[in-house]
Amino acid sequence: MTISARASLARKAVEYEMRRRAAIVPDGGERTVEQARTDLDRLSEVIHLPAGMTVAEQTVGGVPGLWLCPADGDERTVILYLHGGGYVAGSTHSHRGIAGHMVDAIGAPAFLAGYRLAPEHPFPAALEDALAVFDALTAETPADRILVVGDSAGGGLALALVVALRDRRLPAPGGVVAVSPWTDLAGTGESLIDRANDDVMLDPTKVREVAEMYAGDRPLDDPLISPVYADVDGLPPILLHVGDHEILLDDSVRFWEECTEAGVEATLRVWPEMWHVFHAMAPWVPEARRANQEIARFWWTASGVGPPQRRSTL
């Protein structure tokens, strides 16, 4: 069976199970923000946490969230995870499973931040929350031992966070992992058009509407809203993962090009025939598990601590 066939079967199986459990009405009309949030939160019914992982609610830097701690986790480093959802949806509930499998591969504790969402809280609310959490984490862990991870909008937020830290002359994290990051809310990438028929997860016609909810009265090409327009000089090591079949492909490619031109240590990994945030299907798709393992190896190298001491290596 080809990669695309396996991916399609896995996606359809998860989608079917989500619809069966929640009796979700098939797409065919305009969804409200609340409906989008409810639908995304149902991911927790399908994508379960890895065995042995503990979960604890806590507020860090004034931001509510969850600590995800792998069995026999190594506490030499800490992860700050910023969830996706277009800045208008997504939560610690929807993303605990997605983050949990990635965190389990890395083998370090992670704080999954429940940052404020638009349109109730437009930019810069999410960025302010990310900055507050990162600052609070540095009270216990050196900045260079913190890995910032984000998927989709959370990936763009992770990149905006390190740009903001640099601009404020604050310590940077030891590395950033951006999975299918949304870096251009102005929507100028060609992949929005030429990947529209391949992308099984995102609708290019909705991108502008959601972007404007988050940006509010700020321009969509503001560098802290769309980090593809930022000066990237001096950013920490970055790993970008993106699927070849997603409309946000160019959001990763263009950001990586900016980094390489500026001499930033950045790695771009384009996964053939994969879709938006395919890492979410780690329980079913081998490529997703390999992607999480690659993220783990990136952090072990970037942090300088090596593989976890109390776990078997990948």
Q: Which residues are catalytic?
A: 152, 246, 276
Which residue is associated with the tokens 């700020």? 218
163-169 CB contacts, 8 Å cutoff, 24+ apart: 163/223, 163/224, 163/227, 163/230, 163/231, 163/232, 163/235, 164/127, 164/131, 164/224, 165/131, 165/134, 166/234, 166/235
The answer to whether the beta carbons of residues 277 and 84 sit under 8 Å apart is: yes
- CA dihedral angle for residue 239, residue 252, residue 92, residue 139, rounded to 10 degrees: 40
**Neighbour-count burial for 45-68, b at 16+ CB within 10 Å, e otherwise:** ebbebbeebeeeeeebbebebbbb
Q: CB of 150 within 8 A of CB of 125?
A: no
Tokens 């609708």: give the residue.
203
Q: Angle at the Cα of 148 (from 173 to 314), degrees rounded to 5?
A: 105
Phi-psi category of residue 80: left, alpha or beta, with phi > 0 → left and psi -120 to 50 → alpha:
beta
CA distance 38 to 1: 34
